[in-house]
Structure 1
Amino acid sequence: MFGCCVAGRLLQTNLQQVDETHAYFELPNASTMNHLTVFLLGTVPFPDGYGATVHFYWPGKGFQVLGMLSNEKPSAIFRLRGSFIQSSASSATHTAFSSASIADTSADVTAVLGLAIEPLAQIQAQLAQLPSTVAKPAGPTPDPTLLAERIVKNLFNYVSGFVEGSGGVTPELSVPMNIIVKWYESFMNKMRVGGVGFLERGD
């Protein structure tokens, strides 16, 4: 039902079940993590009125709530370094994950990403109590037309950088596919690191 990906690593689907409503991923070599994405795989939706709180465990800090997932918000990106990995923010232990096998070795530590399926009203109440530094539910979904326009504009600006001085972009201009591939790779890297914010800034 869930997948997660630490930036720069392979996708993880090795979810370990605790009970019917709790599961977790182990995150080895946790000190090297910066950003983490968690998402629904699209195979099994939440029951109506339910979602999942996302919890992060760092040795010595207990479980801290990162945010949430729902059918309307099937993925989320969280910045960990400086907020959860090294901060001294207070934490609350989520006892349902107490059976998670958490390693702490001299080489590195293994963190844990916990998922708890709960009623949406209960999830919203938990998120409302989070400090302002912790990720909160996203606001209204951006207008897809506006988002598409910004993506196309980003591509247009990227391609234009390769044809300046040659008469600019014209309907007759052919663009090599390797330029589109480079744009796509750059675009996806920016998305993984910081979401769609760079489109609003015109990066």
Structure 2
Amino acid sequence: MFGCCVAGRLLQTNIQQIDETHAYFELPNASTINHLTVFLLGTVPFPDGYGATVHFYWPGKGFLLLGMLSNEKPSAIFRLRGSFIESSASLASHTAFSSAPTADAGTDVTAVLGLAIEPLPQIQAQVSQIPSTVARPAGTAAQDPTLLAERIVKHLFNYVSGFVGGSGGVTPELAVPMSIIVRWYETFMGKVRAGGVGFLERGD
């Protein structure tokens, strides 16, 4: 039902079933993980009114609620920022995922990516409490199209301004070469593919 892919690694479909509503992936060499993708394989949908919360467990640091999956949102990309703040939602799944192996694997640790199938209203309530300082699903900023568009235009404006000498301001008379716009577009899309649109909120 689920698949997982850590950036730079092969696709994982070797999910371990705990019970009817909990399952997990083992993620070896966890210290090298920056981004990961979780998705439905498309073979078995969620029952009506249900989805799954996605949890990340780092041995010794605790659980982190990353986000959710649903039939309407069958995939999500998460950026791990090294911040492990245990929320009540993650703690609620701690017992279910405690059976997952998390022992040291040589010089590195094996982390756990847990999935808990729950009613959608309950999932939405949990996800709404995810602190902005921890990992967030890529694309969250797109919930407000107007704000997202404004941030994209501001990003382009700031990028083009970097090529202007003197006063450092872009005036209506300035002719911007298309090569600069193309370069901005390629850089912009590279950032989106790598970690979603969160960089727009940070002003990167």
TM norm structure 2: 0.67
CA deviation after TM superposition for structure 1 residue 61, in Å = 2.1
5+ long unaligned stretches in structure 2: 150-177, 180-185
Task: Judge conservation of contact 2:29–2:105 (CA < 8 Å) in 1.
Answer: no
2:18 and 2:86 map into 1 onto residues whose CA distance is: 25
**What secondary structure is seen at the aligned counterpart in 2 of 1:118?**
strand
Q: Which residue of 2 aligns with 1:194?
A: 195
CA change 1:34–1:123 in 2 (3 A) is same
Q: Which one-letter code corresponds to 2:97 in the other structure?
A: F
Task: Judge conservation of contact 2:5–2:11 (CA < 8 Å) in 1.
Answer: yes
**What secondary structure is seen at the aligned counterpart in 2 of 1:96?**
helix
5+ long unaligned stretches in structure 1: 147-159, 162-182
Cα RMSD between the aligned structures?
3.7
Q: Which residue of 2 aligns with 1:59?
A: 59
Q: Which residue of 2 aligns with 1:25?
A: 25
CA change 1:187–1:37 in 2 (3 A) is farther
1:80 and 1:73 map into 2 onto residues whose CA distance is: 20
Q: Which residue of 2 aligns with 1:102?
A: 102
TM norm structure 1: 0.67
Q: Which one-letter code corresponds to 1:71 in the other structure?
A: N
Q: Which one-letter code corresponds to 1:48 in the other structure?
A: D
1:90 and 1:15 map into 2 onto residues whose CA distance is: 23
CA displacement 1:121-162 (0-9 Å, x = unmatched): 1111212222222326835496xxx9xxxxxxxxxxxxx75x
1:194 and 1:129 map into 2 onto residues whose CA distance is: 21
CA deviation after TM superposition for structure 1 residue 58, in Å = 0.3
Q: Superposed, which structure 2 residues align to 1:106-185 within 5 Å?
A: 106-134=106-134, 135=136, 138=140, 140=143
2:74 and 2:198 map into 1 onto residues whose CA distance is: 18
Task: Judge conservation of contact 1:7–1:192 (CA < 8 Å) in 2.
Answer: no
2:7 and 2:189 map into 1 onto residues whose CA distance is: 11
1:102 and 1:61 map into 2 onto residues whose CA distance is: 11
**Higher fraction of helix:** 2
